[in-house]
């Protein structure tokens, strides 16, 4: 599996401890420490005094990864106060698993200068960007982006293709909005009032009249038209 895009990414390595180390002391217990080297970066743990063959450290270091470099050199030494430090063994730590899976907790074998087994060193490595795609390479195809849906306005003008074949249409002006004030009476002229025509006196019920209807209004009173002679009888009449 090819892994790319790791340049400058952080790699965390925790030195847990060693087991079954070669003993370089004849009388007292040895004092081991571990050295890590990646390119030009070097780290050293503290010395575990009287650690013997199974020292513990529990120290974490952070390396900056380099593209194309997939291994770290680990070496274990015995610290001396008077003479030079004694070399116990070294080995190569492969980074392929931690770079692909993001985590690796393994023990790595150590060898002496003559190639003999010199014990093991346990390292816990963590790479946070293992599941992220490489940033130095473009994707094979651009991501799909859905085309935008055109939004039509309720009062939008007709499209140019329709307007070029249809005559322009004019619409009446909308009525003015309702006014909260009463209308002005001077603005309205009432229609003229015409009284109904007066009908002439009706004819007698049951048969048409042979005489024309009298004029209206009646002529003024003239006593000479009426008989003024004496009337028989006495008014008031006598009692019975």
Which pLDDT score, from 0 to 100, does residue 108 have? 97
Distance CA 74, CA 109 (A): 10
Residue 34 neighbours by CB distance under 10 Å: 25
Burial of residue 79 (number of CB atoms within 10 Å: 0-12, 13-18, 19+): middle
Whether the predicted model's global pTM rises above the 0.75 cut:
no
Q: Specify the residue for token string 């015995």.
A: 78
Q: Which residues contact 91 (CB under 8 A, 6 or more apart)?
A: 73, 74, 108, 109, 110, 111, 121
Structural domain spans, the chain: 9-127
Task: Calculate mean pLDDT across residues 121-125.
Answer: 97
Q: CATH for 9-127, among 2.30.300.10, 3.90.1150.10, 1.10.3470.10, 2.60.40.150?
A: 2.60.40.150
Name, in order, each residue with C-beta under 8 angstroms of 216's C-beta and a sequence gap of 6 or more. Answer: 198, 200, 201
Residue with tokens 């293992």: 130
SS (H, E, C) the chain: CCCCCCCCCEEEEEEEEEECCCCCCCCCCCCEEEEEEECCEEEECCCCCCCCCCCEEEEEEEEECCCCCCEEEEEEEECCCCCCCEEEEEEEEECHHHHHHCEEEEEEEEECCCCCEEEEEEEEEECCCCCCCCCCCCCCCCCCCCCCCCCCCCCCCCCHHHHCCCCCCCCCCCCCCCCCCCCCHHHCCCCCCCCCCCCCCCCCCCCCCCCCCCCCCCCCCCHHHCCCCCCCCCCCCCCC
Question: Over 80: is that where the pLDDT of 143 sits?
Answer: no
Q: List, for residues 39-82, the tens digit of each pLDDT value.
A: 999 999 999 999 999 999 999 999 999 998 999 999 999 999 88
What percent of the chain shows pLDDT beyond 70? 54
Rounded to the nearest angstrom, the gap between the alpha carbon of residue 36 and the centroid of all alpha carbons in its chain is 48
The residues pairing with 15 across neighbouring beta strands, listed in sequence order, are 59, 123
Has residue 138 got a pLDDT over 70? no
By percentage, how much of the chain surpasses pLDDT 90?
45
What sign results for the dihedral spanned by CA atoms 34, 36, 41, 43?
A: negative
């Amino acid at each position: 599996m090819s892994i790319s895009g790791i340049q400058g990414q952080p790699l965390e390595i925790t030195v847990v401890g060693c087991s079954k180390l070669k003993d370089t002391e004849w009388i007292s217990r040895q004092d081991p420490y571990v050295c890590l080297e990646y390119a030009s970066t070097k780290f050293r743990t503290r010395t575990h005094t009287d650690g013997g063959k199974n020292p513990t450290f529990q120290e974490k270091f952070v390396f900056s990864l380099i593209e194309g470099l997939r291994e770290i050199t680990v070496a274990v030494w015995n610290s001396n106060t008077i003479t030079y430090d004694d070399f116990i063994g070294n080995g190569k730590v492969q980074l392929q698993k931690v770079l692909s899976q993001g985590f690796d907790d393994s023990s790595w074998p150590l060898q002496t200068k003559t190639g003999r087994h010199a014990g093991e060193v346990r390292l816990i490595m963590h790479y946070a960007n293992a599941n992220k795609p490489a940033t130095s390479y473009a994707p094979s195809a651009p991501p799909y982006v859905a085309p935008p849906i055109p939004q039509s306005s309720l009062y939008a003008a007709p499209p140019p293709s329709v307007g070029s074949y249809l005559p322009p249409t004019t619409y009446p002006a909308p009525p003015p909005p309702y006014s909260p004030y009463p209308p002005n009476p001077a603005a309205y002229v009432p229609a003229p009032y015409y009284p109904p025509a007066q009908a002439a006196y009706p004819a007698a019920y049951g048969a048409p009249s042979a005489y024309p209807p009298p004029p209206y209004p009646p002529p003024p009173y003239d006593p000479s038209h009426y008989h003024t002679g004496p009337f028989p009888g006495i008014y008031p009449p006598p009692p019975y």
